[in-house]
Amino acid sequence: MGCFDYGLSATSRFMDQLEKKEKVMMKPFENCPVCKGELVRKEVEKLLRGGVNTATVKVKAYVCLHCGERLYSQDIVRRFEEIRTKLERRDTAAFQVLGKSFQA
């Protein structure tokens, strides 16, 4: 069965501003709350889905070197929720279209 959604990139000035604000984000835990592994700050790509649309967002997060757990700031999580809502409403004019995704 061939179902598709539109691959979108949620790039905007808001994400750039959030990135600048995130540079001062303090480490939320000394070690990973899941496995106690070491946390390091990395740029990661998050896949967000809303309705039939999908968006990718690059953000900074603390990532566990042992189990891969990702820890995001509250501002980033709020932004994820905003993007998902826009995707569900098909309010994607501010997003960059990357192509189409297919399910086989």
CATH of 3-103, one of 3.10.20.860, 1.20.120.350, 3.40.50.1580, 1.10.3470.10: 3.10.20.860
Look up the pTM and report it: 0.72
Q: What angle do CA 85, 89, 90 make, to 5 degrees?
A: 110
pLDDT of residue 102: 81
Q: Domain segments of the chain: what residues?
A: 3-103
| Average pLDDT for runs of 10 along the chain of length 104 | 46 55 69 96 96 93 97 95 95 89 82
C-alpha 65: how far from its chain's center?
19
